[in-house]
Structure 1
Amino acid sequence: MDFFIQQIIQGIAMGSLYGLIAIGYVLIYNAWGVLNFAQGDMVMIGAFAILVTHIFWGLPIIPAFVVAIIICAIVGYFVELTSFRPLINSSNTRRLIATIGVGIFLRNLVRVIFGADPYPFPSIFGNTPVKIGELTIIPQNIWNTVIGFVLVFLLTVFLNNTRLGKSMRATAQDREAARLMGINVKQSMSLTFIIASVLGGFAGMLISPVYFVIPTLGTSLGNKGFSSALLGGITSNPGSMIGGITLGILEATSTNFSTSIQASVAYIVLFIVLIFLPNGLLGKKESRKV
């Protein structure tokens, strides 16, 4: 029983990071009307950013995080400015292809700069396990969960209680109406992209001690984030976090049945959602073309 509870805790910790990636998908989908398949590669950018700032440059962990976040924001803005904004009035198919191309470009750029070899990253929060009764919890899992939920809370407060956040929501609901109301639509859409990139990058920073840091890191994690977004509802931020945690728990507990099935859980969930629950758990029904 204790082992099963530890699996649940592990699943929640990983799922909270999947949720951050998923919210990035949702933000861009709501604002731009297209799925950003380069979101997973922003996870990889975040992992390499913290590797460079903390390991290569030797910055203490908190300043390293701050600089890494700035790097993710700059990369996100550059991608939006060069690859998304020029195609704002293009078909969804062209923009979807552009996101795939951006992901390929980022992976190969990082491979050219850092090579294809995996980089280990030390535990950010120490290796001394926390004992709660018979449970043994890794500090990384505790902090991943806490930080994930704090970021979602801060994002919710920002979107609901600040002028910029309300502008982003208005732009996502109706771009033309927002423009007529005097909202700077381009600024709102750019800010949406930057926030989505930072969330993905943050997930990459927190997950770097769990996985080796490699150029293809974002491929599988992006797929898991996408599955989480669809499970929770591609239009719902809270649903995405719920979807991420659900997927994380399913992954962690799937080893009780078969150790080989864990890598396939995200794809099984994706298949089931597309067939039986196309709007996700909290998503709205809509007929928008993807």
Structure 2
Amino acid sequence: MNILANLALRGLATGAVYALVGMGIVVILQTTNVMNFAQGDTGMFVTYLAFFMITTAKVPYSLVLVLTVVAGALIGLIVERFMMRSVRSRSHLSLIMLTLGLSLVFQGLAAFLFNTEPRLFPPLVAGDSIKLGPVVLSRQDIVVLLATIIVFGVLYLFLYRTKQGAAARSISQDEYAARVLGIPTPSIYMLVWAIGSALAGLAALLIVPRFSLEPSFMGLIQVKAFSAIVLGGMDSVFGAAVGGLIIGVVENLVAYQFPAIKDSFMLIVVVIVLLVMPQGLFGKRQQRRF
């Protein structure tokens, strides 16, 4: 029982990262109707910047965390302003292909600037694991869980308690009507791209100490994040968060007994759920975004 509890809680920490990436994808998707396939590699690229800030410039970790989020947001602003906006009137497939190309650009830039040699990223929080009754959690897992809870709360307040959040939800319902009402859609597009990309940077920084830092390290995590939003419902930030946590827990429990199928098992579960509930666990049959 103790083993299962530990596996489940560690799975929650992993799933929290899937949730962060997934929430960023959903925020962009539901406002701009663009599926951002460069989400993971945006986080990867800014994590390289964070690595050199820590190891070379000796910048304190707390400041690196802030700078990583800011760098992700700036990348999102630049991508929306100078790339997505110029092709928005073209086909939806063109927008998707642009994000796929952007993903390859980030990987190529990382390989060119930093080379492909795997690097060990220093842990977020030093110190022994913390024992909570029968459960033992690393300090890093606790930080990841707390960060995800805080981000979800802030994102909820933004969407439902601010004018900009209300504008984003209005655009997601009917862009034309939002324009008629005077909502500055270009500014809102830039804002949601900044938020989504900032979440990508945060998620990558939180998970990278478990991996080696290399240009492809966020690839599988992005696949899991896509699975999370499909499982939870693509019309809801809440669904993305819950979907990510479910995937993290289930794959960790499966990996304990059947490590060879841990990555494929959850994809099978997602397919089964979609066959029964095409809208996902928390999606609405009638489109009601966010």
What code does the residue aligned with 1:153 have? Answer: G
**1:264 aligns to what?**
264
Pair 1:226 & 2:226 matched: yes
**1:25 aligns to what?**
25
**2:58 aligns to what?**
58
SS for the counterpart of 2:19 is helix
How much does 1:64 deviate? Answer: 1.0
SS for the counterpart of 1:80 is helix
Pair 1:192 & 2:189 matched: no
How much does 1:274 deviate? Answer: 4.1
SS for the counterpart of 1:281 is coil
SS for the counterpart of 2:169 is helix
What code does the residue aligned with 2:284 have? Answer: K
How much does 1:285 deviate? Answer: 2.6
Whether the 8 Å CA contact 1:43–1:217 is kept in 2: the answer is: no
In structure 2, C-alpha distance between the alignment counterparts of 1:44 and 1:269, rounded to whole Å: 27
Does 166-175 or 203-212 show the bigger shift?
166-175
In structure 1, C-alpha distance between the alignment counterparts of 2:75 and 2:83, rounded to whole Å: 12
**Residues 83-98 of structure 1: matches in 2 within 5 Å?**
83-98=83-98
| Distance verdict in 2 for CA 1:142–1:71, change over 3 Å | same
Whether the 8 Å CA contact 1:49–1:72 is kept in 2: the answer is: no
**1:250 aligns to what?**
250
Query: What are the superposed Cα offsets for residues 160-209 of structure 1, whole Å, 9 maximum, x if unpaired?
Result: 11122211221222111111111110000110111011111110010111
How much does 1:42 deviate? Answer: 1.9
**2:111 aligns to what?**
111
**Residues 140-155 of structure 1: matches in 2 within 5 Å?**
140-155=140-155
Q: Calculate the TM-score normalised by the size of structure 1.
A: 0.94
**2:209 aligns to what?**
209
How much does 1:28 deviate? Answer: 1.4
Q: CA RMSD in A?
A: 1.7
In structure 1, C-alpha distance between the alignment counterparts of 2:106 and 2:266, rounded to whole Å: 23
**2:180 aligns to what?**
180
* Number of equivalent positions: 288
In structure 1, C-alpha distance between the alignment counterparts of 2:28 and 2:168, rounded to whole Å: 11
What code does the residue aligned with 1:83 have? Answer: M
5+ unaligned residues in a row in structure 2: which ranges?
none
| Distance verdict in 2 for CA 1:126–1:161, change over 3 Å | same
In structure 2, C-alpha distance between the alignment counterparts of 1:286 and 1:108, rounded to whole Å: 40
**1:124 aligns to what?**
124
In structure 2, C-alpha distance between the alignment counterparts of 1:280 and 1:266, rounded to whole Å: 14
In structure 2, C-alpha distance between the alignment counterparts of 1:75 and 1:205, rounded to whole Å: 16
In structure 2, C-alpha distance between the alignment counterparts of 1:108 and 1:250, rounded to whole Å: 33
In structure 1, C-alpha distance between the alignment counterparts of 2:214 and 2:226, rounded to whole Å: 20
In structure 2, C-alpha distance between the alignment counterparts of 1:127 and 1:227, rounded to whole Å: 33
Q: Calculate the TM-score normalised by the size of structure 2.
A: 0.94
